[in-house]
Amino acid sequence: MKLKSMLLGAVAGTFVLVSGQAMADTSEKKIALSNNYAGNSWRQAMLESWGKVAYMAIEDGHVAAADAFTTSENQATEQAAQIQNMILQGYDAIVVNAASPTAINGAVKEACDAGITVVSFDGIVTEPCAWRIAVDFKQMGRDQVKYLAERYPEGGNLLEIRGLAGVFVDDEISAGIHEEVANTDFKIVGSVHGDWAQDVAQKAVAGILPSLPEIKAVVTQGGDGYGAAQAFAAADRPTPTIVMGNRRDELDWWKEQKDENGYETTSLSIAPGVSTLAFWVAQQVLDGNEVPKDLTVPFLRVDQDTLEEILAETPVGSVANVEYSLDDAKSLIESAK
């Protein structure tokens, strides 16, 4: 199973022109990306995917500009100021990965009132004038626990590694985990924030492990599975089943353990290339097409039998990914109508 065929039939790094023609209605339009955080491999892959889209879209005449900006701190106030600056710079659309679902709503409303299209993704906003593109993050949390319940119907102790505190994605995944745990014999005996980063997760897990009983499994949010494995190894404790988040170092470690002792787990995350889908959605709104305000995309899942194939397609230091074409965006829009 190829990554490029797993999500909406997306073709990695490929852009399909409609009837061989550039979209004249948006050829003079400028799109900006407002990103609140770049401190892990997922965010770096997301920005890299955006950059490839930006270059090709400008070359092919779809838009005049597609600039990316990342705040120096994961602070809603800084991102709000960034968006206000984009308004002054005359962008026609702003694509946002938001620090908070609500805290930048004022700046988003200012942009909308200035006639600017705002499309949020991953970290979405609740301001009604904006568009939202997300996976069902609660379902991501539920699916982790469902997988573990199938493996261990007798239940057991779970350690939860959360993401960045206060961010919509973190809250939703955690809520899904806790909702599904209530339907099982599992018990969450510890919870730490790993900030979606392996080094942060390793330190956080190492700090809490001495106070924890035997751990059957670790539920995660992405960017933390390998760090958790390292912490358990350093503490000389049995390695539990750790749900992974599609990072290359996690997949490498999983493959090594699978080959050595048959280690089994699963891995799931939103594809970083969702930024490219947000780009094309913004372009379609600017082009005058009717686009539903809320769009849902499937998350990318790696299982025991697809690990090797997906690992082979994932660059070192990066994340299993899918990038979206203009046709993919159009198909998703039509299916959501």
Percent of the chain, pLDDT > 90?
Answer: 85
What is the pTM for the complete model shown? 0.84
Distance between CA atoms of 285 and 65, rounded to whole angstroms?
Answer: 16
One domain for residues 113 and 259 = no
Q: In which residue are the tokens 């106070």 written?
A: 211
One domain for residues 129 and 152 = no
Mean pLDDT of the chain: 92
Q: Is the pLDDT of residue 12 over 80?
A: no
Question: Residue 111 is part of a domain; what is its CATH number?
Answer: 3.40.50.2300
One domain for residues 119 and 181 = no
Q: Is the pLDDT of residue 170 over 50?
A: yes
Neighbours of 51 (CB within 10 A): 15
Last residue of a domain, one of 241, 269, 297: 269
pLDDT (tens digit per residue) in 281-335 = 999 999 999 999 999 998 999 999 999 999 999 999 999 999 999 999 999 999 9
Report the number of secondary-structure helices (H) and strands (E) in the chain.
11, 12
Quote the number of domains for the chain.
2
Q: Is the pLDDT of residue 22 over 50?
A: no
One domain for residues 264 and 274 = no
Last residue of a domain, one of 238, 269, 300: 269
- The boundaries of the domain holding residue 81 are 3-135+270-336
Burial class (CB in 10 A: 0-12, 13-18, 19+), 3: buried
Q: 3-state DSSP call for residue 212?
A: coil
List the 217-219 sheet strands across, edge first. 186-193, 156-162, 217-219, 241-242
pLDDT band for 166, please (50, 70, 90 cuts): confident
One domain for residues 152 and 232 = yes
Handedness of CA 151, 152, 153, 157 (dihedral sign): negative
One domain for residues 121 and 196 = no
Phi, psi of 210 (to 5 degrees): -60, -25
Last residue of a domain, one of 269, 289, 321: 269
Q: Is the pLDDT of residue 24 over 50?
A: no
Q: Is the pLDDT of residue 20 over 50?
A: no
Q: Is the pLDDT of residue 110 over 80?
A: yes
Q: What is the mean pLDDT of residues 270-279?
A: 96
pLDDT at 7: 56
One domain for residues 103 and 166 = no
One domain for residues 8 and 128 = yes
Percent of the chain, pLDDT > 70?
Answer: 93
Closest alpha carbon to 117 in 101, 98, 95:
95
One domain for residues 161 and 93 = no
pLDDT at 80: 97
Closest alpha carbon to 149 in 212, 217, 220, 239:
217
pLDDT band for 337, please (50, 70, 90 cuts): confident
One domain for residues 215 and 159 = yes
One domain for residues 195 and 284 = no
